[in-house]
Structure formats: C-alpha cells, structure tokens
C-alpha cells in the first residue's frame, strides 16, 4: 500500500487497507495531495483523481496492479479516514462493483468519540 505502509507486487492477492490520521498538510485538500505524493513515491502512476470538500478518490497503476484510494475528512477537517484497495488489472471488471459498494458506504459519522 502507499505512504510507506508496505506494497504488493504482481501476482499477489488483492489487498484492502483502511486507516486514518490527523491532517498534517494544512487542510483536507492538502492531505489528499500528500497521500497522492506517497503513492507516486511508491511508484504508482496516478491515472485518475477527483476531489471535493467532502471526499477524494485517486487511482493508479504500477505494472499489472491497480490502486484505488478513497478519503473523507473527519472531525471538522482535523482528521481523515481513508481506504486503499490494490488488485490485479486482470480483475478490474470484478472489482468495479466492490469498489462502488465500498465508496457508497464510506461516510463520516456525526458522533465520534475521537472528535473531542
């Protein structure tokens, strides 16, 4: 996965990594840019990116592998939640509906204990 959290090579099984953290790059948009840079540093060629104040997505390719990442701001923009899914490009059609369901269900709650 990206940001120094390990990586998979061609021939590896799919991987799913949910995580989050504090916004350290100024604001949500800055954090999105930072996460994309981490992906590029891990040799992912970013092929798609879209960002709004409510969410961001980007995807990339490295060899025969595809990376899809989704981010949302949390705690009034002080934190972020993110997931990454990595899979073989051979499985693109099979993963499209999985990613659609993940994106549709990935939303911030309004009553988190961590947002003191």
Q: Which two tokens stand for residue 12?
A: 């590896």
Give the CATH architecture of domain 16-105: 2-Layer Sandwich (3.30)
Helix (H) or strand (E) holding 61: strand 56-62
Please give the pLDDT value at position 6. Answer: 40
Task: Name the token pair of 15.
Answer: 């991987």
Listed residue (22, 7, 5, 12) closest to 89, CA to CA: 12
pTM (2 d.p.): 0.83
pLDDT of residue 11: 59
Annotated domain spans of the chain: 16-105
What whole-number distance in Å separates Cα of residue 3 and Cα of residue 16?
14
What does pLDDT average to in each consecutive run of 10 residues of the chain (116 residues)? 41 84 90 95 96 94 96 91 94 93 84 65
Contact 80, 55 (CB under 8 A): no
């Amino acid at each position: 996965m990206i940001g120094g959290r390990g990586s998979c090579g061609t021939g590896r099984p799919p991987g799913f990594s949910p995580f989050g953290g504090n916004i350290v790059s100024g604001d949500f948009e800055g954090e999105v840019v930072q996460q994309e840079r981490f992906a590029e540093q891990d040799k992912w060629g970013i092929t798609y990116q879209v960002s709004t104040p409510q969410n961001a997505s980007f995807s990339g390719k490295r060899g025969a592998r595809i990376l899809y990442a989704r981010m949302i701001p949390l705690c009034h923009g002080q934190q972020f939640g993110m997931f990454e899914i990595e899979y073989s490009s051979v499985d693109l059609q099979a993963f499209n509906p999985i990613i659609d369901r993940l994106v549709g269900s990935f939303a911030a709650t309004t009553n988190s204990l961590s947002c003191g």
